[in-house]
Amino acid sequence: MPGETSTAWGRGELYETLCLLTIGAGIWFVGASLGTFDLLNGFINAYHLNDLLILAACMGLALFGASVRKSILLRRLMLERDAAAAQAEAIARHDGLTGLANRRRFLEAVERAHTADPEPTSAVLLIDLDRFKPVNDLYSHAAGNAVLCAVSERLQNLLPPGGVAARLGGDEFAMLVPLDQGSEGLTRLAQAVIASISEPVTWNQNDLKVGATVGVAIVAGDHADADAILHAADLAMYQGKKDGRGSYRFFRSTMDEELRARARLETELRTAIETGAIEPYYQPVVSLPGKEIVGVEVLARWQHPERGLVGPAEFIPVAEETGMIGDLSYSLIRRACLDAQSWPAHLILAVNIAPHQFQDAWLAERILAILTETGFPPGRFEVEITESALIQDLEATRATLLSLQHLGVRIALDDFGTGYSSLYHLRELKFDKLKIDRSYVDAITMSDERAKLVDAIIKLGTSLGLSTTAEGIETDASVDWLSDQGCDFGQGYLFGKAVPKAEMDGMLGLDSLPRDRSAPIRDLAVAS
């Protein structure tokens, strides 16, 4: 308690004072006994002083010594307090792991640069590490800390005179640098930062590799404060991430509006998924050369209240990045299975599953639950997987595909020829079908090289017992050539664009029964 502490101190000081007075009296007694004060007798007698005065002088000397000692102790305590305060201030302004300035100190430095001169004299580089999380996950947090320390050392080595390097938190760093060499100097520095951080970090005989994306913002008067400047650099860095990482971007005023538009899109997309505004559309898949409809591919279309019909290229990437792709896919699969109940029993329903979804260990169970709920036969259901899914986690993808195949679901490798698949993948994952990407099919009648590649893919599929589907067919000449090479199925605007269920019913002749359901698609298709 404060009162108890004060009392304890008071008692301690009183005790110390009494001890010193006793010591002074002892000195007088010893001196008087030994005749030490005889030399003062003449002085004492001359002024009629007595022994009590000498006793008082001794005690006074003792008290003086005590006050000097106390002054020294107080001075030492003050110095220790100042040192502790300075250390606490240093800790509060520096990152404990790397020793770099922390966010607080960095913002103070940016604010000083911002207010010191109305003309731009410095710039902020915001640096975010790429592929840092796998280092922590695979090698432990100790390895991650080693990477962070190595990055901080490399940034300090690149820091120009008068600059400040900081760790803002996590795997995010920043540099405040003078504008001595203009935008060209900033470009060289950003490139040097990316190159330096990309060099492997050796830890426990392992080479740990990360990358960096850099956003650059000039410290200018049109920014409100240091936080606004850091926000601008963050927007530029985000744009670099969006464009492919391992790059640098300078802040542009339009980036803020782009970010706001992205935020609006995410909000609208979430609402659209919840309300069912994103609908399944169906594009026919036909047999070659007869052109009979053998199945449909499910494609997403967004009925936006203001923009009208929005294609998947505008919202599917956003759904994948934000983690909404799962809810979207399952909603589309459920609705497509219900739609397909009224279609001929031989039609295959093909659905493209995003690479990220194959990391879900329950994917097969979720699809089975939907098939069971809707009563749709697994044998009529086909999952299309893109080649990029194969490199994210091959073992997880293999387990999911095997689970689906055990249910009777067919598996097709989509956009073959544009990604990373190999003969090993084709052999180990046991696909049922290869879908030849439209970029090859477009040019088969105009490019001998492309024609040879498509022919090789068809022959490869045949040798492995896989059927082949050519995407993006738009001419009868392409149909004839593909049929001659042995391609099994075709898909493209020549046979019909993606349409809602009502129009698909018309293409299948369900709106004017009775009709021959095996009639060629040319007779059934609507104009595309």
Q: Could you read off the pLDDT of 110-164 as tens digits, one per residue?
A: 998 888 777 788 999 999 999 898 888 788 889 999 999 999 999 999 999 989 9
Per-residue pLDDT, 430: 81
What is the arithmetic mean of pLDDT over 186-198? 94
What residues form DSSP beta bridges with 384?
A: 352, 412
pLDDT at 92: 64
Asked if residue 271 has pLDDT above 60, the reply is yes
Q: Which of 20-24, 179-183, 219-223, 492-496 has the highest mean pLDDT?
A: 492-496
Amino acid 7: pLDDT: 45
Across the range 45-51, mean pLDDT stands at 49
pLDDT of residue 527: 29
Encoding tokens for residue 275?
């309300």
pLDDT of 400 over the 90 cut: no
Give the residue-averaged pLDDT of 81-97: 70
Q: What is the CA radius of gyration of the chain?
A: 40
Would you state the pLDDT for residue 45? 52
Alpha carbon distance 90, 96 (integer Å) = 10
Report the percent of the chain where pLDDT is more than 70. Answer: 80
Same CATH topology for 103-252 and 270-524?
no
Q: Which residue has the higher pLDDT, 11 or 461?
A: 461
In the predicted model, what is the mean pLDDT of residues 56-62?
65
Task: Please report which confidence band the pLDDT of residue 365 belongs to, taking 50, 70 and 90 as the band edges.
Answer: very high
In this prediction, residue 429 carries a pLDDT of 79
Mean pLDDT of the chain: 82
Quote the pLDDT of residue 15. 66
DSSP tag of 98: T
Q: How confident is the model at residue 181 (pLDDT cuts 50, 70, 90)?
A: confident
Q: Taking the CB of residue 370, how many other CB atoms lie within 10 A of it?
A: 19
Higher pLDDT, 20 or 312: 312
Q: Where exactly are the structural domains of the chain?
A: 2-93, 103-252, 270-524
Q: Which residue has the higher pLDDT, 501 or 93?
A: 501
Confidence band, pLDDT 50/70/90 cuts, at residue 526 = very low
Average pLDDT for 413-437: 77
Question: Is the pLDDT score of 369 beyond 90?
Answer: yes
Mean pLDDT of 321-338: 93
Structure tokens at 165: 């390097």
Q: Please write the tens of the pLDDT for every residue from 204-241.
A: 888 899 999 999 999 887 777 888 889 889 989 988 88
Residue 351 has pLDDT above 50, yes or no: yes
The pLDDT of residue 427: 72
Element (H, E) at 1: none
Contacts of 472 (CB under 8 A, 6+ apart): 437, 438, 439, 441, 442, 491, 492, 493
Rounded to whole angstroms, the Cα distance separating 245 from 306 reads: 33
Is-contact 385 421, C-beta < 8 A? Answer: no
Q: Does domain 270-524 have CATH number 3.30.413.10?
A: no
pLDDT band at residue 324, thresholds of 50, 70 and 90? very high
The domain 103-252 is classified under which CATH number: 3.30.70.270, 3.40.50.2300, 3.40.50.720, 1.10.150.20?
3.30.70.270
pLDDT given for residue 520 in this prediction:
40
C-alpha distances (whole Å) from 44 to each of 24, 25, 39 are 19, 18, 9
Distance (Å, rounded) from C-alpha 506 to C-alpha 343?
A: 11
Question: Which pLDDT does position 523 carry in this prediction?
Answer: 35
What the block records as the tokens of 436 is 């030849």
Calculate the dihedral angle through the C-alpha atoms of 311, 313, 319, 325, rounding to the nearest 10 degrees.
80
